[in-house]
Amino acid sequence: MCAKVVEILSSEDLRRTLTRLASQIVERTRDLSQLVLMGIYTRGVPIAESLARQIEILEGVTVPVGALDITFYRDDLDKIGLRTPVKTDIPFDLTGKTVVLVDDVIFKGRTIRAALNAVTEYGRPEIIRLAVLVDRGHRELPIQADFVGKQLPTAKEEVVKVYLQDLDGRDAVELIGD
């Protein structure tokens, strides 16, 4: 049987969604000079970079972007399989900052729990917020995003796939199911 693929966000929809997320982050951040974005590998990193570019266009402020590998902080490696760690890159001090964690999809909440643990190894931010492109529900942990591009009710067995130009050669979000 062939999997059914439904396009949720086109390239243009994705661009608009990132612009809206950047605007929301600006509106909810008291002091943009204290804002840093932390992308969670893999797709959270280019999304964070896109948000930083958009914030610079909107406000004329350069927002530092870091990249966070959470492999060693996960509690579900037995379920998701072995991963090759990438280098965490945080070229700034997190202490006292407003950190916005950025990821592509939030599902069970385990990735974000691991990211929260990882961030505290690198400093003590004043506040940590979460921005996700897609929230598909089915949380196992009490974690909610502060900024959501698209709420997408899904069945647990469905898959949300985010494609980004830098990694995949195209921009889109698809829902894959039976």
pLDDT at 2 over 90: no
pLDDT at 147 over 60: yes
User: Residue 78: pLDDT band by 50, 70, 90 thresholds?
Assistant: low
Please give the structure tokens belonging to residue 66: 């870091």
pLDDT value, residue 161: 97
Class assignment of domain 4-177?
alpha beta
- Mean pLDDT on 147-164: 97
Query: How many angstroms separate the CA atoms of 131 and 122, rounded?
Result: 20
Backbone phi, psi, residue 100, to 5°: -110, 110
Residue-wise burial string across 113-138, b where 16 or more C-beta atoms lie within 10 A, e elsewhere: bbbbebbeebeebeebbbbbbbbbee
Cis peptide before 62 (omega within 30 of 0): no
pLDDT value, residue 100: 98
pLDDT at 29 over 70: yes
